[in-house]
Amino acid sequence: MSTGELLSIEPQELQFPFELRKQISCSLNLSNKTDNYVAFKVKTTNPKKYCVRPNTGVVLPRSTCNVIVIMQAQKEAPPDMQCNDKFLLQSVVASPGATAKDITSEMFNKESEHHVEECKLRVIYVAAPRPPSPVREGSEEGLSPRASVSDNGSLNAAESVSRTRLEQHKHQDNSDDVTSLSRSVIRTFSSGIEILWASVSHVFRLYLNQWS
């Protein structure tokens, strides 16, 4: 944090998470420590590369102001990710009730009677944050997804075998029931034939005896 008589500026370095072909921004916080209206102006050594919003303004007494610095999308990275661009933030006491429309370039002229404070800010490129790796299922229990799939597959196979065996047992039981029923019917049918044959033989013998 830069602490001047008029404004406290944070941070002291403009850090941009550099990525090719992507517009990147960072912010500055300006804190007015006085009971005066303080006008500010932001300059840069490379105005075509950066856009500052707002680049001029007034910070009310005992209040703060947020400034956004936008770096235009870059087609190529600088050597060793080093940047020589710099910013200059100037501040001066403004008249009570002043607004951004009341700011003039003459207010920041050092040769005038105004007391102008200056703070230099350098630009630093930092590595862009990487997205977190996705957490796969089963990792919390120390098992890989393949192992989990394999276990599930084994369980499914075991269930399938059990069901097949159960169906075989049911089929075997049904077959045994049918066989037993068939044998019972055959025995009953055989007994009926024997009884019928004995009756017929008895009647035939009686018939023969009547004609004898």
Mean pLDDT in consecutive groups of 10 residues from the start of the chain, 212 residues? 83 95 96 97 97 98 98 92 96 96 93 89 89 64 48 51 62 60 64 69 68 59
Tokens of 99: 């607004």
Residue 86 burial class via C-beta count within 10 angstroms: exposed 0-12, middle 13-18, buried 19 and up: middle
Cβ(10)–Cβ(65) under 8 Å? no
Write down the pLDDT at residue 159: 59
DSSP state of 80: G
Cβ(119)–Cβ(3) under 8 Å? no
Block residue for tokens 């049911």: 170
Cβ(127)–Cβ(19) under 8 Å? no
| Closest C-alpha among 47, 51, 43, 5 to residue 27 | 51
Strand (E) or helix (H) holding 193 = helix 145-211
pTM comes to 0.60
| Closest C-alpha among 73, 59, 72 to residue 9 | 59
**Dihedrals phi, psi of 64, to nearest 5 degrees:** -125, 160
Q: What is the mean pLDDT of the chain?
A: 81
Q: Residue 29 in 3-state DSSP?
A: strand
Cβ(57)–Cβ(92) under 8 Å? no
